[in-house]
Amino acid sequence: MGQHLGFVKASNALRAHLMRHGVEPESCISFQFIAHGPIFAQQSEMLAHKPLRNKVAALEKALADSLAASGYEVLNTVNCRMGLDAELWRIVREAFAPYFPELAMAKNHE
């Protein structure tokens, strides 16, 4: 996690997003991270990895869009044109809804 808040431009996307929104990471008392997964097992070959990566990208976009539509401030834009797996989206949405109560009210993306 430290790399994401560090000073190396190739690996500090979180720092960059925070700074663009006027937040200096060093001024924060704490960070709370919420994650869900793993959704799929690790793949040893790129041919098997790519379809699963694309499904996760679609889930990330749906989550970011739904959080924004629910009134939460999302720091980055997720670009993805892959099809959304409705059943996986339901599972992911339900996993995040306890932490983001307004998410339950967002448009379903289905």
> Around Cβ 6, how many Cβ atoms within 10 Å?
14
Report pLDDT for 108.
56
Give 34-85 pLDDT, tens digit per residue.
Answer: 999 999 999 999 999 999 999 999 999 999 999 999 999 999 889 999 999 9
Give 78-106 pLDDT, tens digit per residue.
Answer: 999 999 999 999 999 999 999 999 988 76
Of 100 and 1, the structure prediction assigns the larger pLDDT to: 100
Domain boundaries, the chain: 1-33, 40-110
Report pLDDT for 102.
92
